[in-house]
Amino acid sequence: MPEFGEILSLDYWREHLTGLLYGLTAVVLFVIFTIGTFPYDQALSGALLPMGLKVSYGSEHPAFPIGAVLEDVTVVNLDRPSPPLMQSEALKLTPGLQTLIGRPAIAIRADMYGGRVWIKIRRHGDLTGLNLGLSNVNLSRYPTASLLGMPLTGTISGQAEFEDGGPSAQKGDFALDGRSIEFTLIRGFPSFHFTILKANCTIEGRTLRVNALEGSGPDMAVNGSGVIHLAPTMAQTMIEMTLRISPTIAGRARLGLLFNFLPHPPDNRPYIFHGPLLMPQVS
């Protein structure tokens, strides 16, 4: 058996060059075989299914230099399959390095809804970890009207990190940055327009905490925080939210009719929204 000093010498490696090359070749072939035969579609389905999500796609083909591309991809919530949560013409999937040591992980990149999305999904025991990144996703191209019950336009970027161990064991945090956001709460009334609208939230189980909500636009500036108790449907979801509204002169003129429904004129006093998310009471 060679001594440690001999192993460090150049002469030793010259004499054992052939064995070293064989070893490196075996490692490279193992990595290529593992990546080349990686069941991308099964890995993606297996990662999403514990979260109550199902993926379907039209076709699959290899991606350069590694990975695969799934085309005509649709992701739905098993409890509410319509409308789909996500649709994309193509998703590029790449296996994570953790896969080589028995911890399935997959990275996803896609252009969708006019923006770009990055997702990393990993499995460890009964837990599913998810990292998500959004860049300039066009909300007007997403079926928000069907999901939220109101039209929504603008672009959104952000980052999120979640860990899912079942409906009662979900936790994570996310930050969203919206630009040129516009929506209408009541049909027939003026819409709300925010040049910038930001939110920082955490989620644990079925409790969503809005740690900070800040927005500004031509009509008003808002800031607030609160808690949303998530339920299987939007109608059952409850809200407890504190919100301060500082309207501009133009906002008071354009939205004056809506402000008349509030318990007091907008000033330095906060509004308390509580009750069902779709029809909260205000005090």
Q: Which residue type does 141 have? A: R
pLDDT tens for each residue of the chain, 283 residues long: 444 454 445 554 455 455 545 445 444 444 444 444 456 566 666 666 666 777 777 887 777 667 778 888 888 777 776 677 778 888 887 776 555 545 667 788 888 888 998 888 777 767 778 888 989 999 888 876 556 666 788 999 999 988 876 555 678 899 999 999 998 877 778 888 999 999 999 988 888 899 999 999 999 999 999 999 988 777 788 999 999 999 999 999 998 888 888 888 888 889 999 998 878 888 8
Structure-block tokens of residue 104: 């399935």
Q: Do residues 239 and 204 make contact, with C-beta atoms less than 8 angstroms apart? A: no
Domain locations in the chain as residue ranges? 1-37, 40-282
Residue 82: CB atoms within 10 Å: 8
| Whole-number Cα distances in Å, 38 to 9, 49, 66, 130 | 39, 18, 10, 20
Q: Do residues 106 and 45 make contact, with C-beta atoms less than 8 angstroms apart? A: no
Give the position of tokens 């060059």.
17
At residue 61's C-alpha, the angle toward residues 57 and 65, to 5°, is 130
| Whole-number Cα distances in Å, 163 to 5, 129, 167 | 48, 4, 11
CA separation for the pair 194, 216 (Å, rounded):
5
